[in-house]
Amino acid sequence: MESINSSKNQLLSDTGLQAKSDLNNKIIARGKEIFKAIKEDKPSLFNKGAWMGKIMEWSMQNENFKVQMFRFVDVFPSLTTNKLLTSHIQEYFGEEKDMPPILSWGAKTAGILGSLGGAALNKLISVNIHEMARQFIIGENAGDAIINIEKLRNTGYGCVIDVLGEATLSEEEADAYVITYLKLLEGLKKRQNSWKPLGNGEASTLDWSVAPKINIAVKPTALHCLVNPQDFEGPVEAILQRVRQIFTKVIELGGFLCIDMESYRVKDVTIEVFKRLKLENPNYPYLGIGLQSYLKDTDTDLDNLLTWAQSHNLQISIRLVKGAYWDYENVRAKQNGWEIPVWTIKAETDAAFERHTRKIFENHSICNFACGSHNIRSIASV
């Protein structure tokens, strides 16, 4: 009897390994198809003939330059005088032996050109940084955003809109953040009826017959200035008070709202805000939450969310991403002597993404899935 059971277990094990191997071969084949399809389709951001393309190309080749470049872009808006600009170029790039000509020239001449040359350099870099920003920021106000959203839709692309800002420092800032969303949504309300559904959704008002035309994402820390996990109930209620205003407007438009996941520090607060908002609107289908596969907790958090949705007979949506705070989480944990909350090897995060994807698909009856990844392997796996 023991021999028969051993043979059966071995057979099951071999079958499982073969299934994994077959799946992996399919993923690789699909990935190659995607690579082939995009080979000649390079985004304008990486056009080597443009300033932005040169900067991005250098950034991909030189890790130290990339760090300095993004530090410089981050501080650039505060460089209000030519003297500040030239001193920062010298500080950030003065020691670089290998950099794009524009910054090499700027670093060498920053101290020689004087105020006139500094003004010319300021204008040149300002124009190019604003051009770079336009690759990522759809508009500086609601009017600009709507114009660019319509341009995207005319080329077959939908989008999720996120008003920039997080970790507000005052209640006034948080109120202003809400007002910005409400103004944007009101502008979108007036336009969306003229938009044709994307994909094969002609028989529906939805894009691809499944997705609302208007999708927005909100960062919880932008809705309250004192998000402190030690005072769990306070931040949850304060964030809910403001996100309700936004969600009411989203529902009026028939849109989709995603509660973004931010740093590990506010993870549990974010999940609780999502749960309470969903319980307040159990029959509205277009509410989701972002989960980050690089967090070690996400295996448990995902299981708990699915169990919670099942127990309350709710349909939920999850936008699965890898996570964008990896450096911050590592540094903060090491400074405080805490256990690092993220996977420290990229392959572990990639594996977790595929694991979480499978779990969500296995629970498709209660959970809709949105794949958020730039990684070809991850997309092919999905």
Residue 8 to residues 17, 19, 21, 168, 376: CA-CA distances in angstroms?
A: 14, 16, 20, 59, 37
Question: What DSSP designation does 198 have?
Answer: S
User: Mean per-residue pLDDT for 347-363?
Assistant: 97
Whether the CB-CB separation of 176 and 164 falls below 8 Å is answered with no
Confidence of residue 191 (pLDDT cuts 50, 70, 90): very high
Residue 192 structure tokens: 């969306």
| 111/169: higher pLDDT | 169
Tell me the per-residue pLDDT of 301-326, one tens digit each, with 9 for 90 and over.
999 999 999 999 999 999 999 998 88
- Cα–Cα distance for residue pair 128/134, rounded to 1 Å: 10
Of 180, 188, 132, 134, nearest to 158 by C-alpha is 188
- Cα–Cα distance for residue pair 362/352, rounded to 1 Å: 15
Which residues does residue 217 pair with via DSSP β-bridges, in sequence order? Answer: 162, 258
pTM for the model stands at: 0.80
Does the pLDDT value for residue 360 go beyond 70? yes
- Residue 379's pLDDT is 95
- Cα–Cα distance for residue pair 10/16, rounded to 1 Å: 10
Helices then strands, each counted (H, E), the chain: 14, 6
- Residue 45's pLDDT is 42
Tell me the per-residue pLDDT of 60-93, one tens digit each, with 9 for 90 and over.
666 677 777 777 776 776 777 766 766 776 677 6
| 123/33: higher pLDDT | 33
Confidence of residue 3 (pLDDT cuts 50, 70, 90): low
- Residue 325's pLDDT is 87
Which range (60-69, 75-84, 124-133, 193-202) has the least confidence? 124-133
Alpha helices in 110-158 (DSSP H): 114-133, 142-154
| 233/125: higher pLDDT | 233
Q: In what order do the strands lie in the sheet with 287-292?
A: 160-162, 215-218, 256-259, 287-292, 316-321, 367-371
Of 295, 328, 138, nearest to 217 by C-alpha is 138
- Residue 53's pLDDT is 66
- Cα–Cα distance for residue pair 86/78, rounded to 1 Å: 13
User: Mean per-residue pLDDT for 233-254?
Assistant: 96
- Residue 230's pLDDT is 82
